[in-house]
Amino acid sequence: MTSIPRQAIEILRRDLRRELRTGEVLWVTIPFGAIALLLIPLAVGTDIPLLRSLGPGIYWVVVLLFGVLVAMRRSGADNQAQRDFLALSGLDPAARFVGQATANALLLLGFELVLGVVSIALYDSSLTGWPWLLLILPIAAAGLALLGTLAAHIVESLGGATALVPLLVAPLSVPLLLGATQSMEALRLGRSILGWLLVMLIVMLTLAIAGILTARPLQEAQ
Amino acid sequence: MTRTYLQIAAIGTMVTALAAGLLVPADAVQGDVGRLMYVHVPGAWLAYLSFLVTLTASVAFLFTRKLRWDRIAVSSAEIGVYFTGLTIALGMIWAKPIWGVWWTWDARLILTAVMFFVYLGYLALRKTMTDPIVRAKRSAVFGILAAVQIPIVHFSVEWWRSLHQPATIIRPDASPQIDPPLFAALMMGVAAFTVAYVALMAVRIELARVDEAIDAAHNSNAVVAGDAVGRPNLKVEIHD
C-alpha cells in the first residue's frame, strides 16, 4: 500500500500518458475552442474596437464552456472494470480525485494558453498587467478542473453523463468566470485584482475540500 | 389527518396574507405594482429555505445513510425550483413597469437564474438514476455543492453595484428598511408561504416514499396495483 500523495501522482501520470497517446485535448478540444473564438465575431460583428473590448470576456466564456470537455474526456476512457480494479487494489478514492483533478488542471492550463494566443491574435486583446496572468490562468484552470472532475465523478457510469456534466458545471462555474473576467477588467483599468483572486482561491479550495471529502461516498455509489 | 390540517392552515394563511397585501396602502413610489412584492419576496425566501433544507438533508444523508433524508432533500429541491421560477417570473412582471424592461443584466437577477439552473441540474441528475441508494449518495454530494449559490445570490446586491434594491429585512446593519404596515403584510406573506411549504413538503415526501415502494416492488417482481395495465406481460405466481 503506497501513500495517498504517491497514489495521486500515479493517477496523474496515467491520465497524462493517456492524453499523450490519444491527443484528445490537443487535437479535438483545443481546435473546437479555437473554432468558437473564430465564429463568435461573425455573430456579434467583426468591428475591431468592439472585438478588442469583448475579447477577454469571449475568451473566458469559451474556456469555461469548452474546458468542461477536458474534465469529461476521462469519463469516456474509464470503464467500470478498471475503476473496480483500482478500488480493489486499495487505491484511495481521494487520491484518485486529486490525481485526476491535477491532470485536468494541467491540461486545462495548456488549453487556456493556446486559446489565449488565438484570442490575442484574433481580437487584438490588451495585455496590460500580463504578469498577473501567471496567477489568474493556473487558479482558473485548477478551479474549473476541480469542478469538472467532481461533476464527472458524480455522473460516472450514468446514462446521459455527456449532457449532464455541462449542465452541472456551467452554472457553478459562475464565480470562476466572474473572478477571471473581473480580474482582466481590473488590470485594464489599473485597479487591484486581489479581491477577485481571493474569490477564485476560495472557490478552488472549497471544491478541493468537497471533492476529497465526498470521494469515498461517490465511489461507494458506483 | 395531519396533512389535511396543514393544507387547511396553508390555504387559511394564504387567504389572510392575500387580504393583507391588498388592504395595506400602496407603495408611495411604485403604486399598486409594489404589491407584487408581497408574493415575490416570500417566494424568494421560500427558495432559500427550500435549498437550505436540501443542503441540511444532503449532509444528514451522507452521515446517517437513511433514505428519509434523501426524500426530504429532493422534495425540498423540487419545491425550491418551482418557487425560484415563480420569483423570477414575478420579478420580471414587476420590472417591466418599474424598470422599463423585463430583464436586465443585474447580479441578483443573473445569479438567481443561475441558482434555478443549478437545482434543475440537481433534479436532472436524479432522473438518470434508478437505484435509490446510488441516487441518494450522488445527489447528496451535488446538493451540498449547489448550496454555495445561496449566500452568493442573497449578498450579491451588497457585493456588486446593483439595479436590484438591496435587502430590505435581512441586512448587514440588521435594521429593516420598510414601514410597519407594509412590513406586517410582507411578514404575513412570508408566514403563509412557509406554512404552504410545510404542507407541500408533507405531500411530496409521502409521494417520494410511495415512489420508492413502487420501484422496490417492481424490482422485486412483486405485484402492485396497476400492473394489469402497466406490466400486462408480468407472470404472477399465485400461492395458496
DSSP string covering B100-127, please? Answer: SSS----HHHHHHHHHHHHHHHHHHHHH
Q: In this predicted structure, what is the pLDDT of residue A145?
A: 94
CB-based contact B117 A221, cutoff 8 Å:
no
CB-based contact A214 B134, cutoff 8 Å:
no
Q: In this predicted structure, what is the pLDDT of residue B77?
A: 96
* Mean pLDDT along residues A198-217: 91
Q: Does A174 touch chain B (CB under 8 A)?
A: yes
pLDDT digits (tens, 9 = 90+) for A124-175: 888 888 889 999 999 999 999 999 999 988 888 776 677 788 888 888 888 8
Q: Does A114 touch chain B (CB under 8 A)?
A: no
Q: What residues contact residue A143 under an 8 Å CB cut-off, 6+ apart?
A: A173, A176, A200, A203, A204, A207
Set of chain B residues whose Cβ sits within 8 Å of the Cβ of A168? 118, 121, 125, 142
Structure confidence at residue A96 as a pLDDT band (50, 70, 90):
very high
Q: Does A168 touch chain B (CB under 8 A)?
A: yes
For residue B80, the one-letter residue type is: G
**Closest among A172, A215, A157 to B153, alpha carbons compared:** A172
* Mean pLDDT along residues A176-199: 88
Give DSSP secondary structure letters for A75-138: HHH--HHHHHHHHHTT--HHHHHHHHHHHHHHHHHHHHHHHHHHHHHHH----TTGGGHHHHHH
- Digits of tens for pLDDT over chain B (240 positions)? 677 877 787 787 777 778 777 777 777 777 788 888 888 888 998 999 999 999 999 999 999 999 999 999 999 999 999 999 999 999 999 888 888 888 888 888 888 898 999 999 999 999 888 888 889 999 999 999 898 888 877 777 666 666 666 666 666 666 666 677 778 888 888 888 898 999 999 999 999 899 888 877 777 666 666 666 655 554 544 444
> If you average pLDDT over every residue of chain A, what do you get?
88
A73-81 long-range contacts (CB < 8 A, ≥24 apart) are A73/A19, A73/A24, A73/A25, A73/A29, A74/A15, A74/A100, A74/A104, A74/A149, A74/A152, A75/A152, A75/A155, A75/A156, A75/A161, A75/A162, A75/A165, A77/A18, A77/A22, A78/A156, A80/A157, A80/A222
Nearest to B137 among A158, A172, A220 (CB): A220
Q: Does B67 touch chain A (CB under 8 A)?
A: no
- 3-state secondary structure (DSSP) of residue B178: coil
Instruction: For chain A, give the percent of residues with pLDDT over 70.
Output: 96
CB-based contact B144 A210, cutoff 8 Å:
yes
Q: In this predicted structure, what is the pLDDT of residue B141?
A: 92
Instruction: For chain A, give the percent of residues with pLDDT over 90.
Output: 39
How close, in Å, is residue A158 to chain B by CA atoms? 7
Q: In this predicted structure, what is the pLDDT of residue B76?
A: 96
**Closest among A64, A88, A47, A68 to A174, alpha carbons compared:** A64
What's the pTM? Answer: 0.79
* Mean pLDDT along residues A37-63: 88
Set of chain A residues whose Cβ sits within 8 Å of the Cβ of B128? 155, 158-161, 164
Structure confidence at residue A72 as a pLDDT band (50, 70, 90):
confident
Q: In this predicted structure, what is the pLDDT of residue A7?
A: 92
Nearest to A164 among B118, B124, B133 (CB): B124
Set of chain B residues whose Cβ sits within 8 Å of the Cβ of A214? 62, 141, 144
Cα–Cα distance for residue pair B19/A142, rounded to 1 Å: 53
ipTM: 0.74
CB-based contact B128 A160, cutoff 8 Å:
yes
Q: In this predicted structure, what is the pLDDT of residue B231?
A: 58
CB-based contact B114 A174, cutoff 8 Å:
yes
Q: In this predicted structure, what is the pLDDT of residue A125?
A: 83
> Three cell numbers at B140?
447528496
> Three cell numbers at A160?
446521459
* Mean pLDDT along residues A64-75: 80
**Closest among B145, B99, B206 to A151, alpha carbons compared:** B145
Q: In this predicted structure, what is the pLDDT of residue B239?
A: 45
- 3-state secondary structure (DSSP) of residue A221: coil
How close, in Å, is residue B133 to chain A by CA atoms? 7
CB-based contact A168 B134, cutoff 8 Å:
no
Q: In this predicted structure, what is the pLDDT of residue B237?
A: 47
Q: Does B31 touch chain A (CB under 8 A)?
A: no
H or E element that contains A24: helix A24-24
What is the phi/psi pair of residue B140, to 5°?
Answer: -60, -40
Cα–Cα distance for residue pair B163/A1, rounded to 1 Å: 57
